[in-house]
Amino acid sequence: MHTLEVAALLSNTKAISPFITQAIGIDLSAKMISAYNTLSQENLLSENMSATQGDLLSPSSSTTDLFQDSKFFNFDIIIMSMALHHVSDTQLMIEKLHERLSEGGVLVIVDWLTMGLGGTGDGHGHQGGHGQEKKLPGSHTVAHFGFNMDEMKELYEKAGIVDIGFMEGIEKSKVPAEMGGEQQVFIAKARKAVRN
């Protein structure tokens, strides 16, 4: 099972490691890549799990050709965890990830449900929406204050991905007080259609 984790975090990969044979992580942050690769070496997973620094939406000169390599295509599973809210052009991101799935492959997005604070209430809220000026930790990197089911469905449908599923986290997660103290995650999934 060939797996891509965008916004790499080894604990996510480790959670699914019994079910996969290979995982590739991609993240913008050199620190995240280094942590992923160090942990994978410590856990003797480095042969099958490694991470590369880069952005699939705007590859640097060093990754433009790299990301065209066949190892960055035909994934059975792509997971993007807690990163979509950092991406400005979410539709383009979903389309780019869709391109990299194998037929029948599944794209999983884990992120926050739409947050009330600082958002427009339509899930596409930017910091300071509706005149709110309060700054949240790391808010300069946040493009969207969460998503709801209809928005995720629309993103997937516009990208032509099928078999859409959506579930909310069972329990709320503790987050800093500035973010409301509690937030709720969702898991959204969809499948690349198999051509006849």
Ligand X SMILES: C[S@@+](CC[C@H](N)C(=O)[O-])C[C@H]1O[C@@H](n2cnc3c(N)ncnc32)[C@H](O)[C@@H]1O
Binding site for ligand X (CB under 6 A): 6-7, 9, 12, 26-29, 32, 55, 57, 81-83, 86-87
Determine contact, residues 36/10, Cβ cutoff 8 Å: yes
Determine contact, residues 3/75, Cβ cutoff 8 Å: yes
Work out whether strand 101-112 and strand 185-191 pair parallel, antiparallel, or are unpaired. antiparallel
Q: Closer to ligand X by CB, 66 or 162: give it.
A: 66
DSSP tally for the chain: helices H, then strands E: 5, 9
The CA distance from 122 to 36, in Å, is 34
The closest alpha carbon to 93, from 57, 127, 123, belongs to 57
The closest alpha carbon to 180, from 125, 115, 129, belongs to 115
The CA distance from 100 to 75, in Å, is 6
Q: Closer to ligand X by CB, 27 or 76: give it.
A: 27
The CA distance from 138 to 149, in Å, is 25
CB of 129 vs ligand X, minimal distance in Å: 20
Q: Closer to ligand X by CB, 131 or 186: give it.
A: 186
CB of 131 vs ligand X, minimal distance in Å: 26
Q: Closer to ligand X by CB, 72 or 193: give it.
A: 72
Q: Closer to ligand X by CB, 32 or 108: give it.
A: 32
Q: Closer to ligand X by CB, 3 or 81: give it.
A: 81
Structure tokens at 134: 């309060």
